Chains A and B, each alone.
Chain A
Amino acid sequence: MSVKIKDASVPVIPFKARLSRWFGRNLLRIYMVFGFTYLFIPVAYTFAFSFNDSGKSNLVWKGFTFRNWQNPCGAPEVCTALGNSIKIGFLATLFSTILGTLIAFAIGRYKFKGRSTSNLLIFLPMATPEIVLGASLLSLFLVFKINPGFWPTVIAHVMFCISFVVVTVKARIASLDPRLEQAAMDLYANEIETFRRVTLPLVAPGIAGAALLAFSLSFDDFIITNFNSGTLITFPKFVYVSAARGIPAQANVIGSAMFFLALAIVVAGQLVNRKKSR
Chain B
Amino acid sequence: MGKGVSAGTRQLVSIEPIEARGDLRLTRITKSYGDFKAVDDLTLTIPKGSFFALLGPSGCGKTTTLRMVAGLEEPTVGSIHLGETDITTTRAYQRPINTVFQNYALFPHLTIFENIAFGLRRRGIKDVNEQVAKVLSLVELPHLADRKPTQLSGGQQQRIALARAIVNRPALLLLDEPLGALDLKLRRQMQIELKWIQREVGLTFVHVTHDQEEAMTMADTIAVMSEGKIEQMGSPADLYDNPQTTFVANFLGQSNLIKGRIDGGDGDNLVVDLFGQKIAMPKSRSHAIDNSLYAGIRPEKFRISRVGSPVRGNTLTGGRVEDVSYIGVSTQYVVAMPWGQELMIFEQNDDGVPPFDKDEEVVISWEPGFTFGLRGDEDIEAGTEVEPEEQAE
Contacts and interface: CB of A to CB of B under 8 A. Distances in A.
A182 B91 contact: no
Nearest to A198: B107
Interface in B89-140: 91-93, 97-99, 101-103, 105-109, 118-119, 122-123
Contact of A185 (B93, B102, B106): B93
B336 interface: no
Interface string A169-186: 000000001011011111
A201 interface: yes
A198 B119 CA distance: 13
B70 interface: yes
Q: At the interface, is chain A mostly helix, strand, loop or mixed?
A: helix
A202 interface: yes
Interface string B133-153: 000000000000000101100
Given A179-B105, A182-B101, A193-B122, A187 B168 contact: yes
A65 interface: no
B92 to A, nearest CB: 4
A186 B98 contact: yes
Nearest to A183: B105
A189 interface: yes
A186 B148 contact: no
A276 B164 CA distance: 21
A183 B104 CA distance: 9
A190 B118 contact: no
Contacts of A177: 103, 105
Contacts of A182: 70, 72, 92, 99, 101, 105
A187 B250 CA distance: 38
Contacts of A183: 99, 101, 105-107
B243 to A, nearest CB: 34
Contacts of A185: 71-72, 91-93
B164 A187 contact: yes
Nearest to B164: A187
B105 A188 contact: no
A277 interface: yes
Contact of B98 (A187, A189, A201): A187
B321 to A, nearest CB: 51
Contacts of B108: 180, 202
B109 A190 contact: no
B150 A180 contact: no
User: By CB atoms of chain B within 10 A, which of A182, A185, A186, A197 has the most?
Assistant: A186
Nearest to A186: B99
B107 A188 contact: no
A278 B147 CA distance: 8
A193 B164 CA distance: 17
A190 B92 CA distance: 8
A197 B93 CA distance: 14
A190 B72 contact: no
Interface in A72-124: none
A186 B70 contact: yes
B93 A189 contact: yes
Contacts of B72: 182, 185-186
A84 B168 CA distance: 54
A277 B150 CA distance: 8
Nearest to A201: B109
B355 to A, nearest CB: 50
A164 to B, nearest CB: 25
Contacts of A184: 107, 118
10 contacts: A182-B92, A187-B98, A188-B15, A188-B119, A190-B93, A198-B107, A202-B108, A202-B109, A277-B150, A278-B151
Given A187-B118, A187-B165, A202-B107, 18 more contacts: A177-B105, A179-B105, A182-B70, A182-B92, A182-B101, A183-B106, A183-B107, A184-B107, A184-B118, A185-B71, A185-B93, A186-B92, A186-B93, A186-B99, A188-B119, A188-B123, A188-B168, A189-B118
